[in-house]
DNA sequence: TTTAGTGTGTTGTTGTTGCAACAAATTTAC
DNA sequence: GTAAATTTGTTGCAACAACAACACACTAAA
């Protein structure tokens, strides 16, 4: 349990104590079952303990978009993403989740435990990474052309790395979704980038030559 | 001072005490001056006390994107937005800001003051709203056409309001930047929407007829 | 092993968007 | 109150991207 980001630097004994204090709920969900109901979604913060789940969105046409893939350690709840009627979280395999009421995140109880302070600080860190992630995506999407979106995204993937090469963490179809562009148009642009020598690809391995 | 979101539920005396404890810095900036320097940006969280500022990004072609408009109570800093070389915060009028070191947000000092706990909780709230805001912007930008971007953005502006009418919080030039589209193309699309009867405009007041 | 499902790669066509350029209106500065 | 700067509104044109449609590769299931 102490390997979860939200419990970082908290001992297992302390965690056990906190979870009791928080009246945390442990639930299991069968594959394909909906984890988030509107009741839960307004008051709880959840973390996946085992299995995988998808955060999905249905648009007005009924098209399903996977907003996020959740696995052990992934956190969800209204603080991280305003979950409206159109968004839900569904178990993609059998999975186990831990649910904690918001109140405990926002307010320290009287006891003023050391672990609670750390817990809050951990949630703060998680939220901060979330913001960073969203900002990255925004930076990519704010490019006007597919070419610039691709280059901007590739730039993020090699940022801070020594080699200007990386393995795409998506299928190409998913990449098009992430960039919010037409897949075939993206494919065409990738081809152009290859032909012009800007990039070299080998399956999902992409190398930037600039 | 106690009207600022980050100091919500904290008395002015406590605030004064905290600011001393935090070694908070108060600075003023003349119009058009850059507020964020790389030194400040890595270690501080800032809040605008008076005046207005813009968080802007320039891409390699020189296109300007307004990432955010900042006014009294707006908070900025790396937890809220990874500020790179291409992003800066510029005073759009003379303004005054308060700067607090990160350390104080993440870590409680020994004293374990009530106000510090509340302060952290307030920052948590702010971050959470930030996430929500970014998600909104992402939803807008993930639309593939200018028309859908506009309609999606207008939809957000009337969400929860009784009247399907609002005053645009931007100039039209700024709106184009916000949507990451060409201004003239956006203007053309607005004209189409008007001609087709979807919207009615009167200066910056826009009414949705659907 | 066949079949269904999904991902990849490609192309023609059509509608949309970015760009450049300009005039008119409005705001801001002096 | 006038000049300067910015915003708004328009248009033609060229470039671009979405869409649709298809073939092929690969994977998983029956």
CB A138 to CB B67 under 8 A? yes
Q: Please tell me which residue, B184 or A68, carries the higher pLDDT value.
A: B184
Contact residues, chain B, for A177 at CB < 8 Å: none
Give the other-Cβ count within 10 Å of B23's Cβ: 11
CB B106 to CB A121 under 8 A? yes
CA distance A156 to A26: 37
What does the pLDDT look like over B84-130, one tens digit per residue? Answer: 666 778 887 788 899 998 888 777 666 667 788 888 888 888 888 88
CA–CA min distance A57, chain B (Å): 11
Residue B31 phi, psi (nearest 5): -45, 140
What is the H or E stretch that residue A105 is in? Answer: helix A102-106
What is the pLDDT averaged over residues B28-37?
Answer: 75
CA distance B35 to B95: 9
Q: pLDDT-derived band of residue B5, with 50, 70 and 90 as boundaries?
A: very high
CB A117 to CB B108 under 8 A? yes
Q: Please provide the average confidence, as pLDDT, over all residues in chain A.
A: 84
What does the pLDDT look like over B55-69, one tens digit per residue? Answer: 877 655 555 566 777
Q: Is the pLDDT reported for residue B7 higher than 80? A: yes
CB A22 within 8 A of CB A32: no
**pLDDT at residue A147 in the model:** 92
What does the pLDDT look like over A156-207, one tens digit per residue? Answer: 888 878 888 898 888 898 899 899 999 999 999 999 998 888 899 888 899 9
**pLDDT at residue A153 in the model:** 93
Interface test with A, best of B8, B104, B128 (most A CBs within 10 A): B128
**pLDDT at residue B190 in the model:** 92
Q: Among the listed ranges A81-90, A155-164, B72-81, which one has the minimum average pLDDT value?
A: A81-90
In DSSP terms, A97 is beta-bridged to A27, A48
Quick one: what percent of chain A has pLDDT higher than 70?
88
**Hits for CB < 7 Å against strand C across A residues 181-200:** 183-184, 187-188, 191
Find the Å distance, CA of residue B137 to C1' of nucleotide C4.
Answer: 39
Starting at the edge strand found earlier in the chain, the sheet holding A87-91 runs: A64-70, A53-58, A87-91
Q: Strand, coil or helix: what is A118?
A: helix
Contact residues, chain A, for B144 at CB < 8 Å: 180-182
């Amino acid at each position: 349990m102490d390997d979860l980001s939200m419990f970082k630097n908290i001992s297992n004994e302390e965690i056990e104590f906190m979870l009791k204090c928080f009246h945390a709920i442990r639930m299991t969900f069968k594959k394909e079952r909906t984890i988030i109901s509107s009741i839960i979604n307004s008051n709880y913060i959840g973390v996946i303990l085992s299995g995988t789940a998808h955060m999905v969105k249905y648009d007005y046409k009924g098209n399903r978009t996977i907003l996020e893939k959740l696995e052990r350690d992934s956190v969800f709840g209204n603080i991280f993403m305003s979950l409206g009627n159109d968004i839900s979280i569904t178990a993609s395999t059998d999975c186990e989740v831990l649910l904690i009421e918001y109140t405990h995140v926002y307010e320290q109880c009287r006891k003023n435990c050391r672990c609670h302070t750390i817990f809050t600080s951990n949630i703060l860190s998680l939220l901060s990474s979330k913001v960073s992630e969203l900002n990255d995506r925004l930076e990519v999407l704010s490019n006007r052309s597919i070419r610039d979106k691709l280059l901007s995204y590739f730039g993020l993937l090699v940022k801070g790395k020594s080699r200007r090469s990386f393995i795409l963490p998506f299928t190409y179809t998913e990449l098009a979704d992430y960039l919010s562009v037409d897949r075939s148009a993206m494919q065409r642009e990738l081809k152009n980038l290859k032909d012009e020598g800007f990039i070299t690809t080998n399956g999902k391995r992409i190398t930037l030559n600039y």
